[in-house]
Amino acid sequence: MKLDRFYPIFDSVHWLERTLPLGVKFVQLRVKDRPEADLRPIIAKAQALARSHGAALVVNDHWQIAIDESCDWVHLGQEDLDTADIDAIRRAGLKLGISTHDHAELDRALALSPDYVALGPVYPTILKKMKWHEQGLDRVTEWKRLIGDIPLVAIGGMRVDRAAGAFAAGADIVSVVTDITLNDEPEGRVRDWIEATR
């Protein structure tokens, strides 16, 4: 399956309900700070929604629930890798995306044969405080050279007008959060993204 080049990340099923009907085909659900009892029905609903729209759902972090709910994808940050059972994830047939920010993290990710590698933040991001300020497009080009055929996801400060530059630098996929969720017209912005990436 060739992955869609537009990869939004949302923190609630509400966003999936709004954007999947617009044609989003590759989407991550990143829900933080909720008890596991709440997460299970949320992830199950998100998975059902994605399937009904012919989209691939990536579950951030919560790999055990992703396995239990027969999800297709899981995304792990470096700190998640410390505790995740990669063998169990693979046995369950889930595809795996991994966040990277520096060479040591990239080496660690590549050792796990990921189905995509994410690099960020490409541009300064307001989403979360990080010790990495801005990787830049040159780093995108370097990462693509190092990972070869593995899809490269560019994330961090991405906007519609930055998508072409990220692709030209070597990114296969552009991931976006606040450019949609903080937009006055999120649906319109999703349509702009689809137009810019397909």
Q: Could you confirm whether 128 is annotated as catalytic?
A: yes
Euclidean distance between CA atoms 4 and 26, whole angstroms: 6
Q: Which residue in 25, 95, 99, 162 is the catalytic one? A: 99
Half-sphere exposure of 47 (CA within 13 A, CB side): 18
Task: Give the C-alpha distances (Å, rounded to integers) separating 188 from 57, 75, 100.
Answer: 21, 27, 30
Q: Could you confirm whether 99 is annotated as catalytic?
A: yes
Q: What is the DSSP string of 56-124?
A: EEEEES-HHHHHHTT-SEEEE-HHHHTT--HHHHHHTT-EEEEEE-SHHHHHHHHTT--SEEEE--SS-
Burial code of 44-60, b = ≥16 C-beta within 10 A, e = fewer? Answer: bebbebbeebebbbbbb
Are 117 and 109 spatial neighbours (Cβ–Cβ below 8 Å)?
yes
The 3-state DSSP class for residue 164 equals: helix
Q: Which residue in 34, 90, 91, 128 is the catalytic one? A: 128
Q: Which residue in 18, 30, 51, 159 is the catalytic one? A: 30
Q: Could you confirm whether 113 is annotated as catalytic?
A: no
Number of neighbouring beta carbons within 10 Å of residue 146: 15
Q: Where in the sequence numbering do the catalytic residues fall? A: 30, 99, 128
